[in-house]
Copies of this chain bind each other. A is one copy, B any other.
Amino acid sequence: MRIAVDAMGGDFAPDAIVEGVLMAAAEVPEQVTIVLVGKQATIQALLNAHGAESVANIELVNADDVIGMSEHPTKALSQKPNSSIGVGFKLLKEKNVNAFCSAGNTGAMHVGALFSIKSIEGVLRPCIAGFVPQITGGYAVMLDIGANADCKPEMMAQFGEIGSIYAQYTFGIERPRVVLMNIGSEEQKGSLVAQAAHQLLKDNRRINFVGNIEGGDFFAGKADVIVTDGFTGNTMFKLGESFYRMAEQRGIHDDFLDKTNYESVGGSPILGVNGNVIIAHGISSPLAIKNMISLAVRQVESNAYTKIAQALN
């Protein structure tokens, strides 16, 4: 198994990325090779500085350009085919690697996935999934957390199905409890879109839809899959993550709150595309990068994206 990692993406790249990759390389299963994509000389110098001139399960692939964090995604991708993101998607498309991960420009990662490996047939809109720690243990998969600010009910109903398959195969949950994030528990509650999405989710016999949850249930252990539009999902997910930062600022240490730290999973998959693409926070630390790679390994092993393709076709 080969996992490509964008060495140049993220606020602390390439240093934090190379350090995280070295941490991961010491831990991943034997059959995993990590492919570092970026400016080869820079990366090699960093590896040398860590006393890791040559690591058996790390491979380097050169990419001369870098897409900046605030560049326009489509423009940047077409103008910089030799950027680390451009080269990473080329490797993924050619099946030279099984997954591509980056803490770089999120928009470019999203557009890159759509242009290279493309959406799964039947998928209305790919989305980004986030992991929400549950106080009862484990994580709920929340989707969409930001790819689609405006959602139609049909899109949200499909997020429920995609999330259910992902939770089943990647997390081994037998009949994932799918819920809709809403502003009341009754089915007639909520925005027009949420009301319509509720009906579609309820009517879908292929998922185990258990109804609405409210904002106060975010961490409550009532769900394995949380369906939401990308606007609500993004604002809630970021608020949820801020819990850890706030606790840290206040000198509070707690096992559960530690799991609300973005580093604990380290990445968010783009779901609904023909391959494994994982994006990470711009601020990603080495630990976050290491955990993102673990997630990638798990996802490749689960083969979730082909299960999604099978279910929708």
Question: Residues of A with Cβ closer than 8 Å to B?
Answer: 135, 146, 149-150, 181-183, 189-192, 194, 214-220, 230-232, 234-243, 245-247, 249-250, 252, 254, 256-257
Contact of A183 among B230, B241, B254 (CB under 8 A): B230
Give A109 to B232 CA distance when docked, in angstroms.
Answer: 26
Closest to A229 in B: B191
B150 engages A235 (CB within 8 Å)? no
> Which residues of chain B are near A190, meaning CB under 8 Å?
149, 231
> Which residues of chain B are near A191, meaning CB under 8 Å?
149-150, 231
B215 engages A235 (CB within 8 Å)? yes
Give A238 to B252 CA distance when docked, in angstroms.
Answer: 22
With A214-B235, A252-B254 known as contacts, the answer to whether A135 contacts B246 (CB < 8 A) is: yes
Please, could you name 17 A-B residue pairs with CB atoms under 8 Å apart, sorted by A? A149-B189, A150-B191, A182-B235, A215-B235, A215-B242, A216-B245, A217-B242, A218-B239, A220-B242, A232-B232, A235-B236, A236-B236, A239-B239, A243-B243, A246-B256, A246-B257, A252-B252
B257 engages A250 (CB within 8 Å)? yes
Give A187 to B103 CA distance when docked, in angstroms.
Answer: 23
With A183-B146, A239-B239, A246-B135 known as contacts, the answer to whether A234 contacts B215 (CB < 8 A) is: yes
> Which residues of chain B are near A240, meaning CB under 8 Å?
215, 239
Give A150 to B245 CA distance when docked, in angstroms.
Answer: 31
Interface contacts beyond A215-B240, A216-B239, A236-B236: sample of 19 additional A-B pairs, CB < 8 Å, sorted by A: A149-B183, A149-B189, A149-B194, A181-B235, A194-B231, A214-B235, A214-B238, A216-B238, A216-B242, A216-B245, A217-B242, A218-B242, A220-B242, A231-B232, A235-B236, A239-B239, A243-B246, A247-B252, A250-B257
Shortest A118–chain B CB gap in Å is 25
Give A66 to B232 CA distance when docked, in angstroms.
Answer: 35
> Which residues of chain B are near A250, meaning CB under 8 Å?
254, 256-257
Give A245 to B150 CA distance when docked, in angstroms.
Answer: 31
Closest to A231 in B: B191
B235 engages A219 (CB within 8 Å)? no
Closest to A150 in B: B191
> Which residues of chain B are near A217, meaning CB under 8 Å?
242
B238 engages A215 (CB within 8 Å)? yes
Give A150 to B237 CA distance when docked, in angstroms.
Answer: 21
Shortest A160–chain B CB gap in Å is 17
Shortest A257–chain B CB gap in Å is 7
Give A49 to B175 CA distance when docked, in angstroms.
Answer: 52
> Which residues of chain B are near A194, meaning CB under 8 Å?
149, 231
A241 engages B256 (CB within 8 Å)? no
Shortest A50–chain B CB gap in Å is 31
